[in-house]
């Protein structure tokens, strides 16, 4: 590689790092970027509305088979764990059915469905995509994969039990290019 190529590569790397540090993309084990959502019932919510709670942002689509299994499971899990501080927002992707066709589903679910989202959260490699933000506003999980009951228990139960000050321990694995946990998955 020529010296000029090294300079260009370094400049690109610096720009990518600066963009990430500026909070454009959510980074696991870093403070979660703010967002604004409007739910189907018209509530406007931001990250601050979930202070001292564990929040799951669930991106899904009506055509997605794993989403069709995950969303009802996530809704049941939420009903059980909401007393411990769990909150979930279900965000349908743009290529899903029109919002008017989602109203019956929104009425049937306990978890709020989102009509609009402003912020850096997005589908990662596919749907479903889940982000988990802990009670202290730290992003602990970001992955494009359906959460099973085992995954929910592994990721959420420790966070739901955490009422202490910020714990800088490593977060759960992710697909956002961030390092995963240092502990074994077994």
Q: In 10 A of CB 152, how many CB atoms? A: 20
Distance from C-alpha of 54 to C-alpha of 141, rounded to nearest angstrom: 11
Give residue 8's pLDDT band: very low, low, confident or very high (50, 70, 90): very low
53, pLDDT greater than 70: yes
Would you state the structure tokens that stand for residue 58, as one six-digit string? 């669930």
pLDDT higher at 90 or 176: 90
* 36-50: average pLDDT: 97
For residue 175, give Cα distances in angstroms to 20, 28, 32, 62, 127: 15, 10, 16, 22, 12
Give residue 170's pLDDT band: very low, low, confident or very high (50, 70, 90): very low
179, pLDDT greater than 90: no
Distance from C-alpha of 60 to C-alpha of 127, rounded to nearest angstrom: 5
pLDDT higher at 15 or 154: 154
What confidence tens digit (pLDDT) does each residue in 108-162 have?
999 999 999 999 999 999 999 999 999 999 999 999 999 999 999 999 999 999 8
Distance from C-alpha of 6 to C-alpha of 8, rounded to nearest angstrom: 5
pLDDT of residue 11: 38
Identify the CA nearest to 135 among candidates 80, 21, 54. Answer: 54
pTM as predicted: 0.77
Give residue 2's pLDDT band: very low, low, confident or very high (50, 70, 90): low
């Amino acid at each position: 590689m020529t010296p000029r190529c090294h300079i260009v590569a370094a400049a690109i790397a610096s720009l990518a790092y600066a963009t990430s540090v500026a909070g454009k993309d959510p980074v696991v084990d870093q403070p979660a970027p703010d967002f604004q959502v409007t739910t189907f019932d018209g509530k406007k919510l931001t990250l601050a509305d979930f202070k001292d709670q564990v929040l799951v942002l669930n991106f899904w689509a009506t055509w997605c088979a794993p989403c069709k299994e995950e969303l009802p499971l996530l809704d049941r899990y939420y009903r059980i764990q909401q007393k411990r501080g769990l909150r979930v927002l279900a965000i349908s992707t743009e290529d899903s059915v029109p919002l008017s066709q989602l109203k019956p589903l929104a009425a049937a679910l306990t978890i709020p469905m989102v009509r609009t989202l402003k912020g850096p959260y997005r589908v990662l490699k596919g749907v479903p995509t889940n982000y988990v933000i802990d009670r202290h506003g730290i992003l602990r999980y970001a992955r494009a994969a359906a959460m099973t009951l085992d995954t929910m228990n592994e990721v959420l139960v420790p966070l739901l039990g955490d009422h202490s000050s910020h714990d800088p321990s490593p977060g759960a694995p992710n697909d956002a290019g961030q390092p995963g946990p240092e502990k074994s998955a077994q």
